[in-house]
Amino acid sequence: MTNIPAIKAFAKQELYELAATIIIVVLIAGGLAAYGEFAKNVATSKLLDSQPNVPIMICEDSATVYKMNTINERPQTLLFANVDWFLGCMPLEKDKYVKNLMEAGPDEDVASLYELQWDDKDTGRSSGVMLGHMMNIYVGLFSLEFMLGTLSTFGVSAYLPEPLISSISLDMAPNAGLTPISEAMIMITDLVGMGVGSIVAQKVLLQFVYTSALAVFLPLGVGFRAIPFLRKTGATLIAIALVMYFVYPMSIWINEQIYFSIGADELINWTNYHSLLDICKPGAGESQSEYVERVKGQLIEFEQETKETTGVVLGAWDGSDPNSKYSVDVQLPASQGNALADAFGKNVPIVAKYMINFEGITGPILPTEYFFEAMVDEFTASMSWFVLNLLFLANSIVISITMFKDISLAIGGEPRVFGMSKLI
């Protein structure tokens, strides 16, 4: 008899918790209904009137996830497809561009959204913004470092045959001064490679959220919250599902608005110097001053050409084809053999000219100045993109984790999951 009041109190508490769970489910259902139209309006709007009118497009590698024939039932598909496109599309060996999703019919086949433009086995095109540019920069840095490392480590050694002095050797490395530049290029390339990996990880997480947050985590969380000893775990899973589905895509959308608000197209000042090394060969009878002026002029011309043909073209916001504005060509060999053949075919003859012309060590053929200027230029452009991507990543993490802590505490969950809250 002494335990009856405790049992009654426990039953009353469980009844309150069950009612709270029902209220949470009702609020989530209402929120989902409102979120669809909200996400659709957000995806088709912009924060500032000065921003370009960016159409809503979809990456081909995501077309099987964000299905356009479900827009009527899930209008939030537009938001997910839009932010996935902003993160960037995986480069395609065959350049296919996408139609504006707002012009696609609800029953239109996904394959009809793409139009084949051209075919080049060694070049791909990445639509979208972040991934394509980062990959293009990464490939350019890697290709330049390929030749830089070869030149900096090339040397000739002569060992003396006498046993007593066999450890003495005569070494000559004509381009040893390039070694510090090569090491700096390796570091820059690794940083940009990590940036590429972070963007791919965000795309994968976004697709996982779209397919699993409501289908797996939310029902599991609601079920766990109805069980007394799993209540906190269930509330935590509900908070994770809500943040992943509602907050995380919005954080990427905020990043997109920041990108188009700050005129980030000015960052597209990228030049693939690995394809320009041959212009540094001095002409016959060319003096030092004539050589320097010619090379500088050719580099300026090529940089301007790069701006006009690669990436977000300056002043092209009002063009009729959005895919020419929001895409970038990426070197994409069809196989490892093609990559090696391309690298050796283009670079080895040029590198060999520097290696065998030892008499030009003190003349204009010395590539140290060229590589240093190329490194500084590529470092400036690549680090602009790397820092921009890092800021966007930090922004998404801070917003998502902060909202997770607040929502989880509000519904009785655990605010710390794997120590994530300690990040901020």
Q: What is the pLDDT of residue 295?
A: 72
How far is it, in rounded angstroms, from Cα 189 to Cα 145?
8
Residues 6 or more apart whose CB falls under 8 angstroms from that of 92 comprise 60, 124, 125, 126
What does each of the 424 residues of the chain score in pLDDT, given as a tens digit? Answer: 456 776 766 666 667 777 777 787 777 777 777 777 777 777 666 666 666 666 667 777 777 787 766 666 677 888 888 888 888 887 765 444 444 444 555 454 444 444 433 344 455 566 778 888 888 788 778 877 877 777 777 766 666 666 555 566 666 666 777 788 888 888 888 999 999 999 999 999 999 999 888 888 888 888 888 888 888 888 889 889 989 998 999 999 889 888 877 766 555 556 666 556 556 665 666 666 776 777 777 777 766 655 544 443 333 333 444 444 566 666 555 444 455 555 555 555 555 655 555 544 444 445 666 677 777 777 877 888 888 899 999 999 999 998 998 888 888 888 877 655 555 5
Q: What is the pLDDT of residue 97?
A: 44
Q: What is the pLDDT of residue 118?
A: 37
Q: What is the pLDDT of residue 230?
A: 84
